[in-house]
Amino acid sequence: MSEVVVKTRVRLARNLKDYPFECRLNADEKKEIAEKVCKILEKSEYDFTRYDMEKLSQVDKIALVERHLISPEFVSNNAGAVALISSNEEISIMLNEEDHIRLQIIKNGLFLEEAYEIADKLDDILSEKLEFAFSEKLGYLTQCPTNLGTAMRASVMLHLPALQKSHAVVRIGNNLSKLGLTIRGMYGESSKPSGALYQLSNQVTLGISEKAAIENLKNITNQLITQEIKSRASLSSDISVVDTVSRSLGILKTARIISSDEAMNLLSNVRFGVSVKLLETLSLDSIDELICEIQPASIMKKYGTELTVSERDIKRADFLREKLN
Amino acid sequence: MSEVVVKTRVRLARNLKDYPFECRLNADEKKEIAEKVCKILEKSEYDFTRYDMEKLSQVDKIALVERHLISPEFVSNNAGAVALISSNEEISIMLNEEDHIRLQIIKNGLFLEEAYEIADKLDDILSEKLEFAFSEKLGYLTQCPTNLGTAMRASVMLHLPALQKSHAVVRIGNNLSKLGLTIRGMYGESSKPSGALYQLSNQVTLGISEKAAIENLKNITNQLITQEIKSRASLSSDISVVDTVSRSLGILKTARIISSDEAMNLLSNVRFGVSVKLLETLSLDSIDELICEIQPASIMKKYGTELTVSERDIKRADFLREKLN
């Protein structure tokens, strides 16, 4: 149901047994770890591009964050901090983020098992050559104790315009923690929901298998999909909602200056409109792509890194008019 | 300069010598007066349609107000209240409004002398057959003493988006009374300015000739045109103004429900955009026509008199999308 589930993400954290955790590593040790991992993966079937954080500009780093390929925290890491990103951007591996290795699989739509399978395979490739910090009792050892155990975080990015409109997301969020899940903004911890995009993820990594955690997340996701679709159906016949959807596309097609926040909200309305067949000429994929492309650093990468905020807002409007007209 | 002057209007008030003023007339006397005037004009070169107020529905009456063909006050007049409207809607004559005869000439654009000439000609036709209440000392006698003298009101409907934006209209309005002029909303006395449309008219009818009053109004109008055009020029390069103009057309083309107030303001922005060549595909005339056609009673005349406010707002949006796309 890609109307509701924009992306699936599975992330595994691993640390090498013979090194202290990241916060205790010096630059040389970080580089050593990075080289070891890179060397193994170079020989794998995957085609990775290597990004050394210390060599990237701030804009390039933030553009990777906007595409969900690295974490916001990774931007401030430097020496020895390396990201390996597969050509289709489905796999990204951060080395020396909070843990020595964080491997992440992203898929469009709801594909939790499939994403986990790829993560598991990469984990096998690495564990053949590397000895991970592991305890029989605690499972994988991680710098932050909240990840101990499976060290797996599985998440789905959900588009919930209808549940947001009815304020149901807040109520749902309050209940989810009892189920070992959490829901938050699209850029993870402490980010605000923008464009009705939410990230639902498992919180519990200890005392539960990867499969069980994924099963749990999938069940709740399916429940949310059902609720969202049901709410959308009743909204889609409401003339004020139809009006909002239609105007949103009208504004995106004609604005000459637009902030990323406003664009996100309008694109969210349009995405909703496409999903309930109010708008027929656009695809969900093209809107999801736009949602990435209109982010500030992505605009700067395209049009120039020296842009002021209002110049960027003008370029964003130009870009949207070009893409949508 | 029809970019600024939407319409010119000249109105003459006349009363028959042998009858009391309108507030003292009974229904029979009103009908007598109406018949007399109608009979004279039937034989004239003009092709009038006759509207008896007591036979018109409320919606039909208000639609005439929206087209500036009768006054809002005339809507509540009944027996003997007759409007004669020429086929091109340039001439409208109200019988038994505040005065026995109120004849009005409307022209698109700034044509004060031309409008006055037609009014004068009609006045001649009528005065050949009718004796008007006239005093050598006071001029034409009218029910309301503020019209004594020439009993002429000349006005121009001005589109002043730039002067409104800079709040200059208020300052200008305060100075105009010293010059014997007044500026107010588009539907005359006590109406609020909507869509940056204002009505500038002469206030003084005593001790000044028709020609002098028109000359005075024309001079001030030309000054306002110059100020407005100058202000527009500086606004038209402001990206936030360009954005507003572009979005306004975008919203008009896509809204599914829209109030007359919102539509007026958006059309005003579009009208400004056309005048400064930001929008190339529309004409001022077509927008001025839309400004009339989206008024509540005009929509009801077109789509049904039993419409609720929100049904009307939906029909208005449908109408605008159809006209603009």
Distance of CA B218 to the CA centre of its chain: 17
Domain residues for B278? 239-324
- Domain boundary among the residues A231, A265, A294 is at A231
Number of domains within chain B: 2
| Higher per-residue pLDDT: A275 or B170 | A275
The per-residue pLDDT for A100 is: 97
* pLDDT above 60 (res B1): no
Contact B254 A249 (CB under 8 A): yes
**pTM (2 decimals)?**
0.88
- Domain boundary among the residues A231, A252, A273 is at A231
Contact A246 B240 (CB under 8 A): no
As given in the structure block, the two tokens for residue A224 are 């949310």
CA dist A173 and B260 (Å) reads 41
Chain B residues with beta carbon closer than 8 angstroms to that of A255: 243, 246-247, 250
* pLDDT above 70 (res B108): yes
CA dist A313 and A308 (Å) reads 9
Interface test mutation site (partner B, options A254, A282, A315, max chain B beta carbons within 10 A): A254
- Residue B112's CATH number: 3.30.590.10
- Label residues A180-196 b or e (16+ Cβ within 10 Å = b): bbbbbebbbeeeebbbb
A257 → closest Cβ in B239, B257, B314: B239
- Domain boundary among the residues A231, A252, A282 is at A231
Low-confidence ranges of chain A (pLDDT < 50): none
Q: What is the ipTM of this complex?
A: 0.85
The per-residue pLDDT for B188 is: 56
Does residue B92 share a domain with residue B223?
yes
CA dist A100 and A229 (Å) reads 40
Does residue B156 share a domain with residue B24?
yes
Neighbours of B66 (CB within 10 A): 22
H/E run at residue A95: strand A91-95
Contact A240 B250 (CB under 8 A): no
Interface test mutation site (partner B, options A236, A242, A247, max chain B beta carbons within 10 A): A247
Going from the C-alpha of B237 to that of each of B166, B242, B249, B265, the distances in angstroms are 15, 7, 18, 20
H/E run at residue A227: helix A210-235
Chain B residues with beta carbon closer than 8 angstroms to that of A254: 246-247, 249-251
Q: Give the pLDDT band of residue B295 (cuts 50, 70, 90).
A: very high
The per-residue pLDDT for A190 is: 55
- Which among A42, A153, A177, A163 is positioned nearest to A98, based on CA atoms? A153
Contact B243 A310 (CB under 8 A): no
Which residues of A touch chain B, with CB atoms under 8 Å apart? 239-240, 242-243, 246-247, 249-251, 253-258, 310, 314, 317
Chain A residues with beta carbon closer than 8 angstroms to that of B239: 256-257, 310, 314
Contact B246 A254 (CB under 8 A): yes
Å from B304 to nearest chain A CA? Answer: 19
Does residue B160 share a domain with residue B75?
yes
* Three-state DSSP class for residue B109: coil
Strand pairing class (A181-185; A48-52)? unpaired
Å from B235 to nearest chain A CA? Answer: 15
B243 → closest Cβ in A243, A253, A255: A255
Q: Which residue of B has its CA nearest to A310?
A: B239
Contact A247 B239 (CB under 8 A): no
Q: Which residue has the tokens 């009363």?
A: B15
Which residues of B touch chain A, with CB atoms under 8 Å apart? 239-240, 242-243, 246-247, 249-251, 253-258, 310, 314, 317
Neighbours of B216 (CB within 10 A): 17
3-state DSSP: chain A helix, strand, coil percent, rounded to 5?
50, 20, 30
Going from the C-alpha of A140 to that of each of A16, A189, A205, B17, B171, the distances in angstroms are 10, 22, 10, 107, 75
Contact B257 A239 (CB under 8 A): yes
Interface test mutation site (partner A, options B247, B259, B324, max chain A beta carbons within 10 A): B247
Cβ pairs A/B, distance under 8 A: 51
Contact A247 B242 (CB under 8 A): no
As given in the structure block, the two tokens for residue B223 are 């000054």
Q: Which residue of B has its CA nearest to A315?
A: B239
Contact A250 B250 (CB under 8 A): yes
Does residue A104 share a domain with residue A216?
yes
Contact B250 A246 (CB under 8 A): no
Å from A192 to nearest chain B CA? Answer: 27
Taking phi first (over 0 means left), then psi (-120 to 50 degrees means alpha), and beta for anything else, what does residue A186 get?
A: alpha
Taking phi first (over 0 means left), then psi (-120 to 50 degrees means alpha), and beta for anything else, what does residue A106 get?
A: beta
- Which among A302, A274, A9 is positioned nearest to A155, based on CA atoms? A9
B256 → closest Cβ in A243, A251, A256: A243
Average pLDDT over residues B157-167: 92
Neighbours of B304 (CB within 10 A): 12
Question: In sequence order, what E strands does chain B have?
Answer: 5-14, 48-52, 82-86, 91-95, 101-108, 134-135, 139-140, 152-159, 181-185, 197-202
As given in the structure block, the two tokens for residue B272 are 């400004």
Does residue B86 share a domain with residue B179?
yes
Contact B255 A243 (CB under 8 A): yes
The per-residue pLDDT for A1 is: 54
* pLDDT above 70 (res B97): yes
Does residue A170 share a domain with residue A28?
yes
Does residue A275 share a domain with residue A227?
no
CA dist A159 and A272 (Å) reads 8
Over the stretch B207-227, which tens digit does the pLDDT of each residue have? 899 999 999 999 999 999 999
Average pLDDT over residues B167-174: 86
CB A316 within 8 A of CB B241: no
Contact A243 B317 (CB under 8 A): yes
Does residue A291 share a domain with residue A186?
no
Contact B254 A256 (CB under 8 A): no
As given in the structure block, the two tokens for residue A268 are 């969210």
H/E run at residue B31: helix B27-42
Contact A254 B239 (CB under 8 A): no
Interface test mutation site (partner B, options A235, A240, A241, A246, max chain B beta carbons within 10 A): A246
- Which among A91, A92, A56 is positioned nearest to A76, based on CA atoms? A56
The per-residue pLDDT for B39 is: 96
Does residue B160 share a domain with residue B97?
yes
Instruction: Supply the DSSP string of B258-314, one letter for each residue.
Output: --HHHHHHHHHHHHHHHHTTS--S--HHHHHHHHHHTSHHHHHHHH-TT--HHHHHH
Contact B256 A246 (CB under 8 A): yes
Contact B250 A254 (CB under 8 A): yes
CB B205 within 8 A of CB B149: yes
* Three-state DSSP class for residue B233: helix
Share of residues in chain A with pLDDT > 90 (%): 82
Query: What dihedral angle (degrees, nearest 10) is formed by the CA atoms of B134, B86, B90, B29?
Result: 30
Taking phi first (over 0 means left), then psi (-120 to 50 degrees means alpha), and beta for anything else, what does residue A188 get?
A: left
CB A13 within 8 A of CB A99: yes
Mean pLDDT of chain B: 93
Q: Residue A101 forms beta bridges with which residues?
A: A14, A95
Question: The sheet that has A101-108: what strands, in order across it?
Answer: A48-52, A82-86, A91-95, A101-108, A5-14, A152-159, A197-202, A181-185
Does residue A97 share a domain with residue A191?
yes
The per-residue pLDDT for A194 is: 83
Does residue A15 share a domain with residue A76?
yes
The per-residue pLDDT for B192 is: 65
CB B147 within 8 A of CB B14: no
Contact B253 A249 (CB under 8 A): no
Average pLDDT over residues B240-262: 97
Q: Which residue of B has its CA nearest to A242?
A: B256
The per-residue pLDDT for A187 is: 59
The per-residue pLDDT for A118 is: 97
Does residue B250 share a domain with residue B121?
no
CA dist A76 and A182 (Å) reads 26
Chain A residues with beta carbon closer than 8 angstroms to that of B253: 250
